[in-house]
Structure 1
């Protein structure tokens, strides 16, 4: 088995800091998967709408996003599967909200609140 060639380090402390910041490669892959899911404009629209509504049902979300109930339901299934939204049933109505603070923060960076919000 061939050995990997020796690599030249200019600043080992920076390499150490970069590796510490990178963390586990599996975590990077999980974030890459999350970003691929939210890269779709329709799904990102739903996430932003949910963020500002705090929680919202499918039919109201469809109106806000300008999508059909069916398209919203399909997108929400994918967003739930990737852990981006959670749901809570109240009687016959299911409400959706963002799953964690990280997504709230990301949306604030993508579309910051104005002073009036």
Structure 2
């Protein structure tokens, strides 16, 4: 049980080698936190709908996303603000119009799994 932290070494285990495998699979707490944050962005149905629309249809403006998702413009803007802050999407300005697209490759890969059954 070489991977068990010292503060947990006195706890009883049933399958010590599997405990070490589990600890190795979990990895660094910071890495787990990063993935948890990424999943929390996808956990909101509105944000997930926006991301699916952007992933499938390409760059879209706020008003187009609002129509596509059934959300109102301010709700779309708020969700995009969170997604931009997390570096999941970027907005590219063309004149007075800003179109958003997914730029996080890991999120894009996850979105492909969300729609795999639809194909």
Q: Same fold (TM over 0.5)?
A: yes
For 1:6 and 1:99, the matched residues in 2 are separated by 45
Unaligned runs of 5+ in 1: none
Are 2:33 and 1:33 aligned?
no
* Aligned match of 1:65: 69
For 1:65 and 1:114, the matched residues in 2 are separated by 17
Q: CA deviation at 1:28?
A: 0.7
Unaligned runs of 5+ in 2: 1-6
- Aligned counterpart for 2:104 among listed residues 73, 84, 100: 100
For 1:54 and 1:21, the matched residues in 2 are separated by 35
Aligned-CA RMSD value: 2.1
* Aligned match of 2:58: 54
Q: CA deviation at 1:48?
A: 0.5
Aligned length: 112
TM-score normalised by the chain length of structure 1: 0.80
1:94 aligned counterpart, secondary structure: strand
Deviations, residues 24-60 of structure 1 (Å, cap 9, x unaligned): 2111112112212221111111111111112111111
Q: CA deviation at 1:17?
A: 4.2
- Aligned counterpart for 1:78 among listed residues 63, 69, 82: 82
* Aligned match of 2:93: 89
Deviations, residues 63-117 of structure 1 (Å, cap 9, x unaligned): 11111111111110011112221111122111111122211211111121655xx
